[in-house]
Structure 1
Amino acid sequence: MLNKFLASFGIGAARVDARLSESRVYPGSELQGEVHIEGGNVEQSISQIYMYLYTEYYKETNDSRTKHKEVLASYRVADALLIKPGEKKVLPFQLRVPYHAPISFGRQNVYLSTGLDIEMAVDPKDTDIVTVLPDPLVDQLFAEMEGMGFRHSHDSGICEYKKHIHRMVPFVQEFEFKPTGLFRSELDEIELIFEVYPEGVDVLMQVDKRASSLRGIFEEMLDLDEQYVRFSIDRQRGVVPGELEMRIRQALQHR
């Protein structure tokens, strides 16, 4: 009786451990591994084994910045089962990472949470970091930016709350680049936002022009110096060398 009481508070209860075959994945690919369950000091009835992939984003409200959790996808590994004291069970899993999962970049992480749903007891949980690699097309765009002398800023890759931009989640992952060479005298920074899908990538590029006059300073204060450019890259065609530079120059000419 005492052991059952303690297990309800997580003391001597069953334990769960998700073991990934490979923790580095691409958006749209599969995450594979095994869920290891080990019984505690008493027999326990598990109603389900669940997993969910999640990330965190920031939201600014009334001059305060708060962090929020966003579930990207949820999965049910198994339904009801009984785990006896000291018993070990291993269940394989195969999960698809959604295309809207953010890239693991800088301080931005993606996590896999695994839990056992046990009635009238604290749910045993396990959390693992999943490294979401850039889609190959996004990787090519990053290489183009670096080739033009752009470097990621300190806050590049952080997910920020933005409504009505991404269809699946309430945030966007912004990649901020500072010019160090070719465009240093013309630009303050460039921000890139990606939406990846099976056929390709949609790109939203924000070009922030450097103030060169009193008028430019006022425009900068009012955010009027920012030019937005949207374009898509087909997966079969790939990134055409020089395309990003052409898009940037077109944005500058429209100012």
Structure 2
Amino acid sequence: MLNKFLASFGIGAAKVDARLSESRAYPGGELQGEVHIEGGNAEQSISQIYMYLYTEYYKEANDSKTKHKEILASYRVADSLLIKPGEKKALPFQLRVPYHSPMSFGRQNVYLSTGLDIDMAVDPKDTDVVTVLPDPLVAQLLAEVESMGFRHSHGSGTCEYKKHIHRMVPFVQEFEFKPTGQFRSELDEIELIFDVHPEGVDVLMQVDKRAASLRGIFEEMLDLDEHYVRFSINRQSGVVPGELEMRIRQVLARG
């Protein structure tokens, strides 16, 4: 009886550990593994075993940034289960990584949280880092940007709060680049946002032109120097070499 009472406070309670066969996956890909449960000092009734993928994003307000958690997808591994003292169980799982998951880049991470739902007790939990690889089309686009002499800015790849841009989540993953080559005298930076889906990827590109006159300085102060371009790339045709450069030059030609 004492052991059951202590287990309700997490002392000598059951433990959970998610073990991934492979901790890396592409958006739309799968993660597989086993959930290992080890009974504590008392018998416990588990109402469900749950898992969810989540990430974190920043939201700016009143000149300060706060970090927020966003659940990307949730999964139920099993329902009612009884675990006896010291008993060990292993349950297989297979879950799909949603297309709207941000890729793992810099300090931007995606996590897999696993928990046991135990009535009238502290839920045992386990958290693992999952590496979300860049979609092949996104990887091609990023490689092309770098081949044009652009380099990632500090903080590039971070998820930031933006409403009404992404279809599934309240943030976007922003990739910011500074020119070091042919566009150095014309651009301050470019920013790319990707929306990956089964058919391909939608791209929102922001081109920030460098001020070259007094008028340009005022436009820069008012953010009027920023131009946006939207385009899509489907998986059948793939990335056309030179497409990004062509679109940047189209923006520069607008004056």
CA distance in 1, matches of 2:16, 2:67: 27
1:26 — aligned with what?
26
- The alignment status of 1:40 with 2:40, answered yes or no, reads yes
Report the residue type matching 2:111 in the other structure. Y
Structure 1 alignment gaps of length 5 or more: none
1:106 — aligned with what?
106
CA distance in 2, matches of 1:199, 1:254: 31
CA distance in 1, matches of 2:8, 2:184: 61
CA distance in 2, matches of 1:145, 1:182: 12
The Cα of 1:160 is off from its aligned counterpart by 0.4
CA distance in 2, matches of 1:182, 1:233: 25
* Corresponding pairs, count: 255
Percent identical residues: 88
The Cα of 1:61 is off from its aligned counterpart by 1.2
Report the residue type matching 1:132 in the other structure. V
1:138 — aligned with what?
138
Alignment of 1:138-217 (within 5 A): 138-217=138-217
Q: TM-score, normalised by structure 2?
A: 0.99
1:116 — aligned with what?
116
Report the residue type matching 1:21 in the other structure. S
The Cα of 1:64 is off from its aligned counterpart by 1.8
The Cα of 1:139 is off from its aligned counterpart by 0.2
Report the residue type matching 1:220 in the other structure. E
The Cα of 1:140 is off from its aligned counterpart by 0.2
**Could you give the per-residue CA deviations for residues 135-157 of structure 1, whole angstroms, max 9, x where no partner exists?**
00000001100110001111100
Structure 2 alignment gaps of length 5 or more: none
Q: TM-score, normalised by structure 1?
A: 0.99
The Cα of 1:217 is off from its aligned counterpart by 1.1
Alignment of 1:228-239 (within 5 A): 228-239=228-239
The Cα of 1:214 is off from its aligned counterpart by 1.4
Structure 1 stretches of at least 4 aligned residues deviating more than 2 Å after TM superposition: none
CA distance in 1, matches of 2:154, 2:18: 32
Alignment of 1:42-81 (within 5 A): 42-81=42-81
SS at match of 1:174: strand
CA RMSD of aligned residues (A): 0.6
CA distance in 2, matches of 1:230, 1:32: 35
